[in-house]
Amino acid sequence: MTSRISLKAAAKINLYLEITGNRPDGYHDLVMILQSIDLCDRVDLRKLGTDEIQVSCTNPELPCDRSNLAYKAAALMQSAFPEIGGVEIAIDKQIPMGAGLAGGSANAAAVLVGIDRLWNLGLTQSQICDLAAQLGSDIPFCVVGGTALATGRGEILSPLPDLKDLVLVVCKPRHISISTVWAYQTFRSHGLLAHNPAKHQALSSQMVAAIASGGESAPAKIGRLLYNDLERAVLPEYPELVDLENKLLEQECLGAMMSGSGSTMFAIAADLDRAHQIAEAVRTEDIDVWVVKSLVRSIFDA
Ligand code: C5P
């Protein structure tokens, strides 16, 4: 029986993020459209002879103790399935942290899926998603991937038609990492829900229709409909991000926006050539830039 498994776990961007309510549990009700992108961490899992959970990461800035989401995912599996033993988790980090790209959630999703496979637990995707939702709001999406509408805290998913070959320029300012907790708290404490400018019921439906329309005109339609409520909380505090978004919009792109709680800004490009031109125009020694395509899943064999 196999004792190790290597998985690739994809980052996500938000094509749409609307905050529709403050919840009594401190969370927010959301309507999001999430998209997996081809920017992946590699997560290697190996069965251990003991009950220990060991986490290591190529990025020394990531704490590998019990606070690590990958550790928490393994601990959750151990408590749900006492028959499984210890596991060594090695994360090769490519997805930037504090970026709004769900890198930590992607790692946790890979651990859930990997442990299910290593120990032949035979869980369905929906069972894995139920476990994932206990760990974090974005983790069920990171299990499923592709293109999805997410509601509730973000954990209630409805699949949307695959967005194949959407071309994106993804930009992360090296020195700006944003705490998701801070972004949502700022949104709430500044009373931004009460001043919600968009008529989102209609906007999110338009985005879903644009995705479903498919074909060559879909990226342009999607680009015009990009929306993220958290920009109103985050951008006033980070003028550098406003500058970056403006710089992207000055290029010949189909739309640009912050992903999740930031600090990643992304642009949709008409094709790969254009994407590389945009990337060159915005890349500096302080801004990491990737040209990536959309993915139709989120977890792959490495
Ligand atoms: O669910 P997760 O632990 O990933 O969320 C991180 C933080 O993001 C939460 O502690 C909360 O501050 C904020 N959040 C929120 N509403 C959501 C999802 C996340 O306020 N729907």
pLDDT along the chain (302 residues), means of 10: 92 96 94 98 97 97 96 98 96 97 98 98 98 98 98 97 96 97 97 74 90 94 97 98 98 97 98 98 98 98 96
Q: Does ligand 1 lie within 6 Å of residue 27's CB atom?
A: yes
Q: What is the pLDDT of residue 87?
A: 98
Q: Indicate yes or no: pTM above 0.90.
A: yes
Which residue owns the Cα nearest ligand 1 atom 19? 27
State the Cα–Cα distance between residues 58 and 56, nearest whole angstrom: 7
Which atom, in ligand 1's list, is nearest to the CA of 155? Answer: 21
Q: What is the pLDDT of residue 215?
A: 87
Which residue owns the Cα nearest ligand 1 atom 10? 181
Spacing, Cα 51 to ligand 1 middle (Å):
30
Which residue owns the Cα nearest ligand 1 atom 13? 181
Which residue owns the Cα nearest ligand 1 atom 14? 27
Q: Which residues contact 107 (CB under 8 A, 6 or more apart)?
A: 9, 41, 43, 68, 69, 70, 73, 91
Q: What is the pLDDT of residue 199?
A: 60
Instruction: Provide the β-strand partners of residue 17.
Output: 32, 228
Using most ligand atoms within 8 A of CB, pick from 34, 129, 138, 181 the residue to mutate for ligand 1: 181
Q: Does ligand 1 lie within 6 Å of residue 152's CB atom?
A: no
Q: Does ligand 1 lie within 6 Å of residue 14's CB atom?
A: no
Annotated active-site residue in 41, 72, 116, 138: 138
The side-by-side arrangement of strands in the sheet containing 167-173 is 255-258, 265-269, 167-173, 287-293
Q: Is 29 a catalytic residue?
A: no
Spacing, Cα 189 to ligand 1 middle (Å):
15
Using most ligand atoms within 8 A of CB, pick from 14, 17, 27 the residue to mutate for ligand 1: 27
Residue with tokens 């993020």: 17
The beta-strand segments (E) located in 87-239 are 87-92, 147-151, 156-159, 167-173, 227-228
Annotated binding site for ATP: 96-106
State the Cα–Cα distance between residues 154 and 29, nearest whole angstrom: 8
Q: Does ligand 1 lie within 6 Å of residue 30's CB atom?
A: yes
ipTM of the complex, rounded to two decimals? 0.97
Q: Is 65 a catalytic residue?
A: no
- Decide: residue 89, CB within 10 A, 0-12 exposed, 13-18 middle, 19+ buried: buried
Q: What is the pLDDT of residue 267?
A: 98
Which residue owns the Cα nearest ligand 1 atom 7? 181
Q: What is the pLDDT of residue 202?
A: 81
Which residue owns the Cα nearest ligand 1 atom 18? 153
Q: What is the pLDDT of residue 197?
A: 63
List of domains in the chain: 4-161 (3.30.230.10), 167-293 (3.30.70.890)
Q: Does ligand 1 lie within 6 Å of residue 138's CB atom?
A: yes
The continuous run of DSSP H or E covering 142 comes out as helix 139-144
Q: Does ligand 1 lie within 6 Å of residue 16's CB atom?
A: no
Using most ligand atoms within 8 A of CB, pick from 184, 188, 193 the residue to mutate for ligand 1: 184
State the Cα–Cα distance between residues 139 and 132, nearest whole angstrom: 5
